[in-house]
Amino acid sequence: MDRAEQLAVLSGAAADQWGLVTTAQAKELGVGAVPLLRLTESGLLENVSRGVYLLVAAGVPRHQDIKAAWLRLMPKTFAWDRPAGHQDSGVVSHASACLLHELGDIPAPEVEITVPRRRTTTEPFVRLRTAALDAAEITVVDGLPVTTALRTITDLLQARADGGHIGGVIAAAERRDLIALDDLAERVRPYVRRYGLKGTDTGRDLINHLVAQAGESLRRQEIERAEQGGFDAAVRFLAGNPDFAAHLAQAVRNAKVLPTGIPEFMDDEGELD
């Protein structure tokens, strides 16, 4: 193959891998180490990580470091051929999952990936965590397998992440309907004492505690505050307008309910006002 053919072959695979291709995948496609080097020297490829190349024309993908680390776990296997739950596959988790879900502002200095069996890596900024994940705990974000928001929050608690940062993640996930608070409360109940609460406190107590630490609020709390604010404003209005308040009180006393159950106002003769 000449250079144009090599680039075309690599582009076809990289198109479904965020513009990325591994050395092992390139070899499977008939493009060896020497052609990769020449394509890199010519500026058509960029070596973005050990054994991972970016097609420069594709542009830099979001969260490139996470995607490159995930591709390296099974360097010969293309992204579309990787079954979730495979013993050599991995799922983006913990703080890295928060980045992909765009939840909170938890620091993510490492790429964190959960794998089903113990594995090691020589990459200094990649952390592999070992755990079994149920299919229901895995979702797909930007083509990557990622732990769900519910599992991600549980993992952060298990890893003893900062409570305020977790609270920010919870608040963001709840606002976007990525979690059900009842389900989360059940999952986080074992961690109440770890985060400074009493052993008798509930999972909902821990959720409120963490969200408050983050200086955030849950949507339910915001609605309650808005409702209270509207009630307080109405009380202030009536206090400042006694004639209107008296008229309203009289109208309420005269209110009757028709058989349909719809409130209507009637005069003393039983006729509609």
Instruction: Set out the domains of the chain in order of their start, with CATH numbers.
Output: 3-63+71-76 (1.10.10), 91-218 (no CATH), 220-265 (no CATH)
pLDDT in tens, 164-210: 999 999 999 999 999 999 999 999 999 999 999 999 999 999 999 99
Of 176, 105, 100, 85, nearest to 144 (Cα)?
100
Q: What is the pTM of this model?
A: 0.79
- The whole-angstrom separation of Cα 120 and Cα 104 is 29
Ramachandran area for residue 129 (φ above 0: left; ψ -120 to 50: alpha; else beta): beta
Q: Confidence class of residue 247 from pLDDT cuts 50, 70 and 90?
A: low
Question: Per-residue pLDDT averaged across 116-141, rounded?
Answer: 91
Residue 86: pLDDT band with limits 50, 70, 90: confident
CA 236/CA 183 separation, integer angstroms: 39
Average pLDDT across the chain, whole number: 86
Containing H/E element for 260?
A: none
CB 184 within 8 A of CB 150: yes
**Residue 87: per-residue pLDDT:** 76
Query: What does the block give as tokens for 203?
Result: 């999972």
Sequence-distant (6+) residues with CB within 8 A of 89 are: 73, 74, 82, 83, 115, 116, 145
